[in-house]
Structure 1
Amino acid sequence: MAAAATKYLTGYMDASLVVCTQYLICLVTLLPWVSRTGLKGLATEFPKAHLIRGVAGWACFYTFYVAIGKIPLVDASLLRNTAPICVPFFTFFLFGNRIGLQGAIGILVGFAGVLFILKPEGQNISMWHGVGFLSGVTLAISMIYTRELAASEPSNRILFYYFLISLVLSTPLALANYTPIPIKAVPALLFVGVSIFITMKLYNHAYTHAPANAIAPLTYFGVVFAGLLGWIFWDHTPDSKSLMGMALVICGGIVAILAKQAEASQK
């Protein structure tokens, strides 16, 4: 829903302004916690991890929102959801983690669904699809470092540094591209900010209890909803390839999750 609201907003303002407002709302929402805990609650031994997670998370949303304004909602969502394909590679090279055969099959099936929907033979593919793919790459990095931080840092501290870093990065672009915000766009802006705050809280909770390789395939399910919203509000009707791709996406996500559960039960 936040992605659909963002696509609506990019018709009235630059994506950078949406991103900046989003993080401002998120940071303000977290201020009561900051006032209760004070500087002690913000003390961290992992500044580098927070910085990487913050930059990657900001880059993910910025590139995703830019892509949303230029290409169909389902395409942008699909490209963002290439993150599950990137996560195993990053975790392997950064931490030496491995992924089982069944899990790999599930991820590949899901990515095959993404390819079906994107129709990679070249028709209707633009440079903005490349921007959308960058959102998937940076989302994967953000997922991994959120998981690492969640092992030793409280959820609100992770979110505070993420929102703060992202707001700092967003502000110059928002000022450079500023245009007056129409009154009718304010409810959508508030909705995006609040919904992203709730989403980040849920994500952090999930990463505390499950590895990135298990969580990442679940993000595929958002593609189906993006396709439905794009069809309802922007008349982007899914064709047979798109429907086949959505089916593969769901199957791939389920297989990957079942594989992770099987691995956990054997330990």
Structure 2
Amino acid sequence: MANSSNDKPLLGMAFAFATTIVGASASAATKYISSEVPLGSIVLIQFVVGLLVLSPWMYRQGLSGLASEHWQRHIIRGLAGFAGFCFFYLALQHIPLVDSSLLRHSAPLFVALVAYLWVGAKVPKSRWLPMIIGFLGIALILRPSSTVNVWHLAGLGSGLSLAISMVGTRLLSHDESSSKILFYYHIIALILSLPLALYTWQGIPAWAWPYLLYNSLSIFVAMWLYTKAYSYAKASVVSPIGYFSVVNAGILGWLIWDHLPDAIAFIGIAVVICAGLITVWQSAREEKQNAKLKARN
């Protein structure tokens, strides 16, 4: 049984914010090598490295410790996570880092629908305000880009996939440890990525390996942080923090590829930050109110 302390929104958002920093740097590393390293190789090595990092935990658990009664949720979460990375890496190859990142982090717009269809969950009305504000910021950032094409749709597909993964992670966190969730995710994603890697395999240049390994380790750390975030807070609380990835990606895109947003895009970035701050304020207020109620009881 996983840790039962599933209602610590501020801690959950702290993990989520750390995820945005690590994830943005991993995305930049992937974009840098994407013209020389096939998508299948990037995905496969990413999950092989993740399993190697998890191997000491797997050894301590033994076969009995790896058993799970929630394999259906693990499969859905694994399929969604794998699809999300494939869509995201395809988008990275063809559109600016900030565009692909903001489309991936359109996930909060889908979370409410996914949660409703999956488990019939309803999102509190107060959560809609930061989601809508975040969406407006994303629209402002995306406006300066070139004509929307199929690669933008791939980026949007990564956002929908991420939303499914977010809800699945939250559901699993009630009964499974973070390490077990990551283990099943890596196993499922590795199985799915192997045929793709074999089909597209080609020699990897020596200069690309440090970036490839950095991406793989960073993705594992980001997924661990992301899983911890959803073990402490609801998807509707944590997911808007993902908007900060757009800001981080914009900064890296400017520093590395000289993709400097214009004035309207900068306004969009400010709006995205406001959406995250509203979420933090709402959650802090709710946490204080809940603490007062518990103290009275």
Which residue of the partner structure matches residue 3 of structure 1? 27
Question: In structure 2, which of residues 159, 164, 169 is the aligned counterpart of residue 141 of structure 1?
Answer: 164
**Is 1:102–1:256's contact at 8 Å kept on the other side of the alignment?**
no
Q: Post-superposition shift, 1:264? A: 4.3
Secondary structure of the equivalent of 2:189? helix
Please name the residue that 2:200 is paired with: 177
The aligned residue for residue 72 of structure 1 is 96
Contact 1:83–1:139, Cα closer than 8 Å, also in 2: yes
Please report how far the alpha carbon of residue 81 of structure 1 lies from its aligned counterpart in structure 2 after TM superposition: 0.6
Residue 123 of structure 1 and its aligned partner are, at CA, apart by 4.1
2:285 and 2:158 map into 1 onto residues whose CA distance is: 30
Alignment of 1:19-30 (within 5 A): 19-30=43-54
Instruction: Name which of 71, 75, 96 aligns with 2:120.
Output: 96
Name the Cα RMSD after superposition: 1.5
Structure 1 position 259, deviation (Å): 2.5
Contact 1:103–1:257 at 8 Å: present in 2 too? Answer: no
Matched, 1:216 2:239: yes
TM-score, normalised via structure 2 length: 0.86
2:41 matched residue in structure 1: 17
Q: Which residue of 1 aligns with 2:279?
A: 256
2:222 to 175, 184, 199: 199
Amino acid at match of 2:93: G
The Cα of 1:228 is off from its aligned counterpart by 0.9
Question: What 5-or-longer segments of structure 2 have no aligned partner?
Answer: 1-24, 291-297
Mapped to 1, the partners of 2:279 and 2:124 lie a distance apart of 9
Matched position secondary structure for 1:13: coil
Instruction: Return the offset for 1:202.
Output: 1.3
The amino acid of 2:280's aligned partner reads I
Q: CA deviation at 1:265?
A: 4.1
- Whole-angstrom distance in 2 between the partners of 1:179 and 1:170: 15
- Does the 8 Å CA contact 1:114/1:249 hold for their aligned counterparts? yes
CA distance in structure 2 between the partners assigned to 1:265 and 1:19 by the alignment: 42
The 2-side partners of 1:231 and 1:62 are apart by 24
Q: What's the TM-score once normalised by structure 1's chain length?
A: 0.95
Say which SS state the counterpart of residue 205 (structure 1) adopts: helix
Is the Cα–Cα contact under 8 Å of residues 150 and 208 in structure 1 kept in the other structure?
yes
Whether 1:229 and 2:269 are equivalent positions in the alignment is no
2:84 partner amino acid: C
2:180 counterpart residue number: 157
- Aligned to 2:69, what secondary structure does the other structure show? coil
Shift of 1:178: 0.9
Code of the residue aligned with 2:133 in structure 1: it is V
In 1: Cα distance, 2:260 partner to 2:86 partner: 26
Using the alignment, how far apart are the partners of 1:194 and 1:59 within structure 2?
Answer: 19
Tell me the alpha carbon deviations over residues 111-147 of structure 1, each in whole angstroms, 9 at most, x when there is no partner. Answer: 0011111118x84311100000000000000011101
Task: Please say if 1:53 is aligned against 2:77.
Answer: yes
Q: Quote the offset at 1:199 in angstroms.
A: 1.2
- Please, which moves more after superposition, 39-48 or 123-132? 123-132
Shift of 1:18: 0.7
Contact 1:58–1:166, Cα closer than 8 Å, also in 2: yes
Mapped partners of 2:124, 2:181: distance in 1 = 29
Greater RCO (Cα-Cα under 8 Å, separation 6 or more)? 2
